[in-house]
Amino acid sequence: MLRRIRSEQLQVGMFVARLGGPWINHPFWRARFLIANEEQVRQILSAGVQEVWIDILKGRNLAAPDTPGTPDTAEIPDPVPASALTPDPMDPATAPQLAATLDAEIVRARELLQSGKAVIGSMFADIRMGRALEVNGALLLVDSASRSLSRHGQALLALARLKARGDDNYLHAFAVCALMIAVGRTLGLPDDEVRELGLAGLLHDIGKLTLPAAPAHKASERTPEEEEIYRRHPSAGYRLLNEARLYSNIPLDVCVHHHERVDGRGFPYGLAGSELSVHAKIGAICDAYDSLTSSRPGHQPWSPARAMEYMAVRVDTLFDRRVFKAFTRTVGIYPLGTVLRLRSNRLAVVCAQNEADPLRPKVMAFYSVSQSRPTPTELIDLRHSDETVVAFENAADWGYTDEQLMEMYATVA
């Protein structure tokens, strides 16, 4: 049984179940512990923690009656409000970043992806082994991803979409993390919420690690039994995060609700529209986009433009309209790396968005369909050209990999 008290009411012998306030910033944020001495009380007070949840079954209760208006006992604590996360002005994560060119940032984003793999890989391995979840490394990764997106808004998103086989869990988590940070920024959410969104992206599917491999990773044609098991992963993830004492609203919310849909036909609870938070709606859209554009067993990756089109026609049934609009502003109606067929019957790859006119991005023409051969590349700004888009294409159908296309467009944007 938990009871919320003010920090100054803490006494030796009380069992701290959770600390309120800026959970990431204070030194005890993952801890549940018995207050053994006055020094611990002083540390909590000097860390700026305003309120504390004590477990009155495991430790001493507050003897005196509480002051009027003070929250009373509650069986389940409310998650820490997102606003409790305060950015540190000295933190490089929140310090201003200098803009970088796309090709320069792709190089750095590649290194980030590589180093993040070890961090997240060991976090996932711990979960599989039943060890405690440790998210400090994940938070550092979120901050690095944020800095990358500050230097260039597209490099990390373009790179994270290119998936290598065998790294599915990690790369999906990382891609959703990057997308959620980027969409949170487009929506103008405060930095502390955006940071939690990033963490939510990394952790959203963590419940899958507790499932048998087949239902967790099959993209299609799950048997009814496998589907039933698969649908447990949001709640399993929520439980894992709670067990890890990650009392943070946004990761918990996104973890449990990222498969909910605005028409109420999602799972696990069938929540609809206003019952879902903006964070859960961001999670749903970023997760769906990355899943559709990824290669998984039984599912060929869709081109980013095809995924955008698929999602656009499901706005108001599967996806929230306002968040999807922000999503399209973030990645583009034709995301970077999309292959388009132009009126001149040439293929061109999208190199840069035109924010004012998202249907007419900057493209690099590289292949003649009528002559069935590559052509000298030509950079075209579709806003100032007679060329128009007649269709979007799948790069693989023309023998090009996403990596090859990236080499082509990265240097010109």
With CB under 5 A as the contact rule, which of the stretches 193-201, 286-294, 334-342, 400-408 interacts with Fe ion?
A: 286-294
The CA distance from 282 to 260, in Å, is 11
With CB under 5 A as the contact rule, which of the stretches 126-134, 249-257, 279-287, 320-328 interacts with Fe ion?
A: 279-287
With CB under 5 A as the contact rule, which of the stretches 3-11, 15-23, 57-65, 282-290 interacts with Fe ion?
A: 282-290
Which DSSP letter does residue 262 get? T
Q: How far is the CB of 135 from Fe ion (least distance, A)?
A: 17
Nearer CB in complex with Fe ion: 205/402: 205
With CB under 5 A as the contact rule, which of the stretches 24-32, 84-92, 284-292, 401-409 interacts with Fe ion?
A: 284-292
With CB under 5 A as the contact rule, which of the stretches 107-115, 198-206, 209-217, 348-356 interacts with Fe ion?
A: 198-206
The CA distance from 374 to 366, in Å, is 6
Angle subtended at Cα 184 by Cα 30 and Cα 333, rounded to the nearest 5 degrees: 145
Q: Give the residue carrying structure tokens 């929140």.
A: 94
Both tokens assigned to 216? 């967790």
DSSP string for 269-321? S--BGGGS-HHHHHHHHHHHHHHHTS-BTTBPPPPHHHHHHHHHTTBTTTB-H
Q: How many helices (H) and strands (E) does the chain have?
A: 14, 10
Using the Cα atoms of residue 121, residue 123, residue 125 and residue 127 in order, give the sign of their dihedral: negative
Q: How far is the CB of 176 from Fe ion (least distance, A)?
A: 6
Both tokens assigned to 96? 């201003």
Q: How far is the CB of 205 from Fe ion (least distance, A)?
A: 4
With CB under 5 A as the contact rule, which of the stretches 3-11, 200-208, 264-272, 313-321 interacts with Fe ion?
A: 200-208
Q: How far is the CB of 255 from Fe ion (least distance, A)?
A: 9
Question: Which residues are registered as beta bridge partners of 272?
Answer: 263
The CA distance from 266 to 237, in Å, is 17
Q: How far is the CB of 19 from Fe ion (least distance, A)?
A: 29
Q: How far is the CB of 286 from Fe ion (least distance, A)?
A: 9
Q: How far is the CB of 204 from Fe ion (least distance, A)?
A: 6
Nearer CB in complex with Fe ion: 173/348: 173
State which amino acid sits at residue 149.
Answer: L
Total binding residues toward Fe ion, as defined by CB under 5 A: 2
Pick one of 205, 260, 320, 402: the residue that binds Fe ion (CB under 5 A): 205
Q: How far is the CB of 259 from Fe ion (least distance, A)?
A: 6
* Cβ atoms < 10 Å from Cβ of 367: 21
The CA distance from 210 to 236, in Å, is 7
The CA distance from 85 to 375, in Å, is 52
Evaluate whether 171 touches 164 at the Cβ level (below 8 Å). Answer: yes
With CB under 5 A as the contact rule, which of the stretches 40-48, 143-151, 201-209, 398-406 interacts with Fe ion?
A: 201-209
Q: Phi then psi for 163, rounded to 5 degrees?
A: -100, 140
Largest pairwise CA distance in the chain: 87
Nearer CB in complex with Fe ion: 20/237: 237
Nearer CB in complex with Fe ion: 35/206: 206
Q: How far is the CB of 139 from Fe ion (least distance, A)?
A: 19
Q: How far is the CB of 287 from Fe ion (least distance, A)?
A: 4
Pairing of strands 339-342, 33-34: unpaired
- Burial state string for 130-155 with b = 16 or more CB within 10 A and e = fewer than 16: eeebebebbbebbbbbbbbbbbbbbb
Nearer CB in complex with Fe ion: 269/398: 269
With CB under 5 A as the contact rule, which of the stretches 77-85, 283-291, 350-358, 367-375 interacts with Fe ion?
A: 283-291
Nearer CB in complex with Fe ion: 192/287: 287
Nearer CB in complex with Fe ion: 260/287: 287
Pick one of 196, 287, 320, 393: the residue that binds Fe ion (CB under 5 A): 287
Nearer CB in complex with Fe ion: 174/409: 174
Nearer CB in complex with Fe ion: 21/207: 207
* Total residues belonging to the chain: 413
Q: Tell me the three state secondary structure of residue 352.
A: strand
Q: Does 393 bind Fe ion (CB under 5 A)?
A: no
Q: How far is the CB of 295 from Fe ion (least distance, A)?
A: 14
Q: Which residues bind Fe ion (CB under 5 A)?
A: 205, 287
